[in-house]
Structures are given as C-alpha cells and as structure tokens.
Amino acid sequence: MMYLDTPPRLIQAEVFSAMPDQFRRKGVNTEWADANRPGQPTDCFIEGPSFDADGNLYIVDIPFGRIFRIAPGGQWSLVVEYEGWPNGLKISRDGRIFVADYRRGIVELDARAGRMMPVLASRNSESFKGCNDLHLASNGDIYFTDQGQTGLHDPTGRVYRLAKSGRLDCLIDTGISPNGLVLDPAEAVLFVAMTRDNAVWRMPFMKDGSVSKVGRFCSMFGPSGPDGMTMDKAGRLFVAHASLGHVFVFAPNGELIARIKSCAGQSCTNVAIGGNNSDRLYITESVTGTVMVADISVINSSLRGA
C-alpha cells in the first residue's frame, strides 16, 4: 500500500451496534464454520451491509442462514432464517433486496413475507463454486463474484454480469478468490477485491461490454486480504481488509489516502456508506458480530478532488 507526499489520515471507528446475545448461536457447529473457520468458536459471522430507503441497515449472518435488519437507533430484528449461506446483500433503488448466497447462487429476499426467492442458481446447468458478493448497476444489471475456495493454488474464480434482460456474461474466470466488487461512478470500470491475491483488480469495460487490460489497482498484505468494498461519488475506494483490522481508502489513482481503524476485532469484512450527508462509513466486523461506524467527512472535506 503506497502513498506519495502525505501519509494516510488515521480515522478511528466506534461501535454502532453489536449483535444481541439473544441472537448468538454459542456452541453450535456448522458446516460453513468447519470449512472456513476450523477450530474457532463461531456464534455468528456477519457481512453484507446495505441500507434501505428508511435508513435501516440490513446485514447477513453467513453460517446460520440469517438476515437481520438494524434500525437507525441500533435495534436488531430477524428478517428471515433459511437453508442457505447468505454472503453479500445489496438493496436496489426500487427497494428489492438481492443476496449472493454461497450455496444457492443469487436470490431475492421478500422482507415482508420473510422468504427467499431464486434469481439465478446455476449457469448452463452447472452449479456455482460459491457466490460471495454482488453490486447493482444503475440499469439493473447485477455484477457478482463466484469465489468458492479459489486462491493462488486455484486461480479459477469468476466474475459475472447478470443483465436485466436475463443474459449472463462471465467477465473473468481467472480470479484469485474474487470477493467484494464495485463500479466506478461512471460505470466504466469494475473493481474486484481478490482476497488471496491481497489485491484489488481494475477491470475496464470495452465497447462490447467485455473487460480487457485487467490490472492490479492496489496491493496489500496479511494472512487474509481485501473483502467488501464501496466507492464514493468522488471515486475514492473503501476496502475492508479481513485480517488487518482496517478499512483502507484509496484515491482514484490508487494512492492510499486514509485508513479507518477497527475498535472491535481484526476481521473487517464489508462496508456501506450512510448518514444524511453520506458522511458515515458502516463496517462489519464479522468475528465479534459488531457493526462499527466512522466519520468520513474529514476525508470528504480535506481530500476533495484527490
């Protein structure tokens, strides 16, 4: 992670709300935890923050197939519990709630009915490796990652685009653990966190919608790597790192300009911008089941135009 003239600004996160004890599944083993957190107690593993129009924050709990709604005041309520491993969640402008489910592909949540509806479970009758996260384009297209257990030993992770028309395009099939993803403000470039490569890849679109000249936008370090991401209107990229206890903020040129430090654990897995003026960053710390918040107005003001 590099900077040029000015060291990155340090911003301290604080607790917004933590999962209440009544919802924690202590002493319960799950197949997901056995594979992804072997030998470690896992009473929850939250991810996928996304806000609805009323300011409620939705998050997922992967190993127990649960989706929660957190009110603006921090109160938790269970929306649904189902047979699945919800990993990423995004709410569209019209209020539809889409989920990237590691077991079931892309599904949609009917929050009022408390049920999940299939959207895309396979490609050409072949199951996905394990869908991780998704991003919604302004035209209704859904971009999502198919991570599975890929890594440097198996660089076959995939990134897909599901068009509103139903057409499915595989944009890349050589990903090294593709995870969080986000479009730039012009929707001309897709950024994808490659967790086991400890890097974020930059994927420019060609006229036909394919990608070319894919490169590493920024590189990191640590036993895990970059996870969920978001981008502000100025094109600054916010990257949650799953083992360093930070969210790193990169300028459009790839320079590290700020770091937001966790006040909970080291496993910062995803982020969402909120607040009345889009000046708050909400961060999931998965292991402790904590949602943190940080004031990002300081970089919005001091680094305007960076």
Catalytic residues: 227
d(CA 300, CA 278): 10
Residue 48, classed as helix, strand or coil, is strand
Does 5 count as an annotated binding residue? no
Does 295 count as an annotated binding residue? no
Question: Which residue from 278, 285, 269 is spatially nearest to 133, judged by alpha carbons?
Answer: 269
The tokens of 64 are what?
């127990």
d(CA 209, CA 213): 13
Question: Which residue from 190, 283, 272, 191 is spatially nearest to 232, judged by alpha carbons?
Answer: 272
The tokens of 44 are what?
């929850």
Does 61 count as an annotated binding residue? no
Q: Is 178 exposed, middle or buried (0-12, 13-18, 19+ CB in 10 A)?
A: buried
Q: What angle do CA 274, 45, 178 make, to 5 degrees?
A: 75
Length of the chain: 306
Does 179 count as an annotated binding residue? yes
Residue 162, classed as helix, strand or coil, is strand
For residues 259-275, b (16+ Cβ closer than 10 Å) or e, as one string? Answer: bbebbbebbbbbbbbbe
- Cα 35 to Cα 150, 194, 223: the distances in Å are 13, 19, 17
Q: Is 39 left (phi over 0), alpha (psi -120 to 50) or beta?
A: left
Binding site residue list = 47, 132, 179, 227
Binding site residue list for substrate = 132
Binding site residue list for a divalent metal cation = 47, 179, 227
